[in-house]
Amino acid sequence: MTMDFMERGMDENQKLVCSLCNLELETADTNFSYLGHSFRAQTPRCPGCGQVFVSEELVKGRIAEVEMELEDK
């Protein structure tokens, strides 16, 4: 299954909708794992299929920080 999401709306109240299930994504606690270490973050997730939307902000922020910390060890 691929992560295939679309954004609906063009204002500040945009809603993320899963294009597989056509359900609005809900904020959920999500576990991430990298090099045997895990961390949690709040991410939009489909209540139907469980697919997670990982924002560019999360990738360039928290995930990049964790990656750098672990690779420096």
The enclosing domain of 53 has a CATH number of 3.10.20
Query: Per-residue pLDDT averaged across 34-63, rounded?
Result: 86
Query: Per-residue pLDDT averaged across 52-65, rounded?
Result: 82
Domain that includes residue 19, residue range: 5-72
pLDDT of residue 5: 46
pLDDT of residue 9: 38
Q: What pLDDT band is residue 64 in, cutting at 50, 70 and 90?
A: confident
What value does the mean pLDDT of the chain take?
79
pLDDT of residue 6: 45
User: Domain tally for the chain?
Assistant: 1
Alpha carbon distance 48, 40 (integer Å): 21
